[in-house]
Each structure stands twice: as C-alpha cells, then as structure tokens.
Amino acid sequence: MESGVGTVLGPLGEIRAGIEEFYRDLHAHPELGLREYRTAGKVAQRLRDQGYDVIEGVGGTGVIGVLVNGTGPTVMLRADMDALPVRERTGLPYASEVTVPGPEGGRQPVMHACGHDVHVSCLTGFAALMARARSAWSGTVVALFQPSEENGDGADAMIQDGLTERVPKPDVVLAQHVLPYPAGYVGTRAGPFLSAADSLRVTLHGRGAHGSAPQAAIDPVVMAAMTVVRLQTIVSRELAATAPAVLTVGSIQSGSGPNVIPDRAVLQLNVRTYDPAVREHVLASIERIVRAEAQATGAVREPEFETLAAFPPTINDEAATDEVARAFAAHFGADAHTIDVQTASEDMSRIPGAFGVPFTYWGIGGADPGRYAEAERKGTVAQDIPVNHSPEFAPVPQPTLDTGIKALAIAALAWLGPGPRTG
C-alpha cells in the first residue's frame, strides 16, 4: 500500500500551488448553505478536467465526481462546502468581504469560519492526484461535495434527491475536518467521536398585564426563569457522571418594557449527547420539566416545542477506523494520534447510513504549529488558538492542505486495490 501511496502523492508538488490558490479563492468567496453555486461550479469543472463523471445539483447544490478505474472496492470521500454568517476578523489578504441579504433585512456577512474551504480544496487535490496515478490503484473513487452541513440538512437533501441510486454503492465512506490542532496533526478515534446535537425552540404561554398588577397576570418571565433553573438538573441530577451531555439555554426572549408583563416567553435550547439512550432521556426530560413548570405556574396554554435542527452522533466504525489509523501511523509517524471526543456535530453520518455501509471520520490540524506550541507552553491554547466558528479562525494553508490531501489518499488506498484490474 505504501508504494501506491508514494506513486499517488508523487505529483503533489506539481499541483500544490494551484490547490493553495483555489483555497484562497474559496476563502474569499464563501457561500451559505444551499447557496454554494459558485463553489459547486468550480468543483464540478475541476472534476471534469480530471476525467471524472460529474453529477451536479444533487440536493440543490451538491456535486459528485465518479472515477472508475478497473474492478475493485468503491470508496466515497466527502467534503462539505458551506460557510457561516460570521464577519471575518483574520486580517488575511484573502479575507472574506462577502455580504448577503439578511433574514431580517440589511446585509449579513459570510465567512468560511469552519474550514470547509480546506475540506473542498483537499478533496479536489486528492481527486486530481488519483486521476493522475491510475496505474497505482484499482476500484472506484466517489468524491462527494455536500451542501449545507452547518444547517444540518445537506446530507438529507442529497439522500432525498436519490443519492443512493445515482452513484455506485461504496464499501466505505471517509471524511475529515480541520480542527484547532497544530497543522500536520492527524487524529482518529473509533466509536463515538462527535456528539449528537438537538436545537429546540420552546414557547411558554402566560397572560399579560400591567406591571403594577401582577395578580392579573400569569407571568411567563417567571415561568421561563424557573424552567431554566430546573433544566440544569437534567445533566447534574438525572445522568451518571460517566454519561456526558451538555444542555445550554442560549436564548430567552420575552417582553418589551419594564412595566409590562408579557404574555409569552421563548426559550432556545441546545443539547449535545453521544449515546442515543442518553439523548432520548434528555429530550424527554426537557419536555417533562417544561410542561410541569407551565402547569405549576398556571399557564393558559400548553407549551409549544419546535425542533430547529437535529444532528446525529458521529460514531466511527471500529474496523474502518483501525484500518485508517494503521495507515496513518505508517505514513505520518508521530503526527498520527488518537483524537479526543469532540462536542461539535455533523450530519455526514447520514450518508453512509443511507447506503448501509461503514464510515470513519477523522480530524486534521490547521493552527500555525509555532503559535500552537507557544500557547501550549504557556497553557493558553484555549485563549490563543481560534476555534471553529470564531471570526478569527483561519487555518494556515501549509502544511494543512498537504496533510489533508495526504490523509485522504492514504485512507482511500487502504481499501483500493494495487494497480488496475479488468474483467
């Protein structure tokens, strides 16, 4: 396998400058979920230029490139394309200045604050190398570029648009994410890796009145306050210490003046869990507590629950992860690690789930290695190294891009056969 890796990665130096230029262009031109028209068009053209069969518009803006190279396994590799509604503060010469119409009027800034520009650049670089080195492997490569990961609906959109009928069924699905570790780092983890995430909106109904006449009101502000306090007991008193979960009330909205008791309060909550049973318990407990507090306060109506987003947990297949981890250790040496569980969330696992095949998802570093080492020495990594979704998040182009391209190639070649076979 390592000789095949060497053949595939041999031309990396020839395409490096072009990949770096593509990365800077993507970073400067971010697009929000299901609006990735420019990005999708550039990806599709690059795949066509390398001889891939290209399918566009899957799930709206998704792009898939298929390269059949003799008989053998089929490996699907996925990258997400969308950006975030964040105003960039990196100071880079290629920083985004893009704005789009906002949901409530005005202009909304857009930034690649999560590294999806890295993911797209690495997968297109990988695709180019695989097309150049067809003598080094056999099988089928499916390069899938997914829209709208940040909204949690991009994978489902592709599946509902007939994904499983439009491409060969993969034997394995591979994906990676750039994270605030030093560039050059690669990290795998078998089993639970990323948390499930559920975002909810809860509306509590009271009865409005003048602030001087509380006896005429059923105060939704008090109802909301008591609910928030009681919700904190779910993690602290209903779950074992060995069952990690996070419950955050990120928004409370009620009222418009100091002497007016409003008639409703709206809470927005986010739940992070790793175990499906824990997830179900937490969600059920939220509903139980919200309904009980509403009843205790004498609410005029039952509370309303709305799911805003739901991400599944990312639980890596043990055997597939072990295979990739061995391949990474052989090639990257000391830069290959076992990564900690992350409280971020992803919808990627729905894609292998739709095919009924195993998957593994790993992390690569994107932080400047010198800056990271200095922050680690001072014990200030959390303060000094910008994390995903920060307006200051900006992976260094190198060695981040080289590492991501190499990781995809090494992982894919762990499945693909050596040299083309026909028949």
**pLDDT per residue as tens digits for the range 47-67:** 999 999 999 999 999 999 999
Judge whether residue 376 has pLDDT over 90.
yes
Question: Rounded CA gap, 282 and 106, in Å?
Answer: 38
- Measured over the CA atoms of residue 5, residue 7, residue 12 and residue 18, the dihedral's sign is negative
Question: Rounded CA gap, 251 and 220, in Å?
Answer: 14
Q: What is the pLDDT of residues 180-226, one digit of tens each?
A: 999 999 999 999 999 999 999 999 999 999 999 999 999 999 999 99
CA 335 from centre of chain: 23
Q: Residue 339's pLDDT is what?
A: 98
Judge whether residue 241 has pLDDT over 90.
yes
Question: Rounded CA gap, 201 and 293, in Å?
Answer: 16
3-state secondary structure at position 393: coil
Q: Which residues contact 321 (CB under 8 A, 6 or more apart)?
A: 188, 189, 190, 191, 360, 362
CB atoms within 10 A of CB 24: 16
Answer yes or no: are the C-beta atoms of 51 and 86 closer than 8 Å. no
Q: Residue 103's pLDDT is what?
A: 85
pTM for the model stands at 0.92
CB atoms within 10 A of CB 295: 11
Beta 264-273 vs 245-253: how paired, if at all?
A: antiparallel
Judge whether residue 305 has pLDDT over 80.
yes
Answer yes or no: are the C-beta atoms of 154 and 88 closer than 8 Å. no
**Strand partners for 203:** 266, 304
Q: Residue 423's pLDDT is what?
A: 42
Backbone angles phi, psi at 89, to 5 degrees: -135, 40
Q: Residue 419's pLDDT is what?
A: 76
Backbone angles phi, psi at 26, to 5 degrees: -60, -40
Question: Rounded CA gap, 416 and 258, in Å?
Answer: 67
Is 365 exposed, middle or buried, given 0-12, 13-18 or 19+ CB atoms closer than 10 A?
buried
Burial 327-355 (b: 16+ CB within 10 A, else e): bbeebbeebbbebeebebbbbbbbbbebb
Q: Residue 180's pLDDT is what?
A: 98
Answer yes or no: are the C-beta atoms of 146 and 363 closer than 8 Å. no
Structural domains in the chain, CATH included, are: 2-193+313-413 (3.40.630.10), 196-311 (3.30.70.360)
Answer yes or no: are the C-beta atoms of 140 and 67 closer than 8 Å. yes
Q: Residue 104's pLDDT is what?
A: 79
